[in-house]
Amino acid sequence: MINWLMANIGTIIIAAIIAGILAAVVVKLVRDKKSGKCPGCECASCPKSSDCKH
């Protein structure tokens, strides 16, 4: 088991970094949605512009 981990440590580290970045993006999108923000759109074209908090 240790030999396998040592042989694949680079791949494991890169996978962990990518998983962390993906988790951070998902958390940010969920928080923005809960706060009423429209991700990636202008306020004028947002379907929730009347409920917008900024």
Overall average pLDDT of the 3-10 stretch: 95
End-to-end CA distance of the chain: 53
Question: Is there a contact between 30 and 46 (Cβ–Cβ < 8 Å)?
Answer: no
Q: How confident is the model at residue 7 (pLDDT cuts 50, 70, 90)?
A: very high
Average pLDDT over residues 44-53: 65
pLDDT of residue 35: 78
pLDDT of 46 reads 67
- pLDDT, one tens digit per residue, over 8-33 is 999 999 999 999 999 999 999 888 88
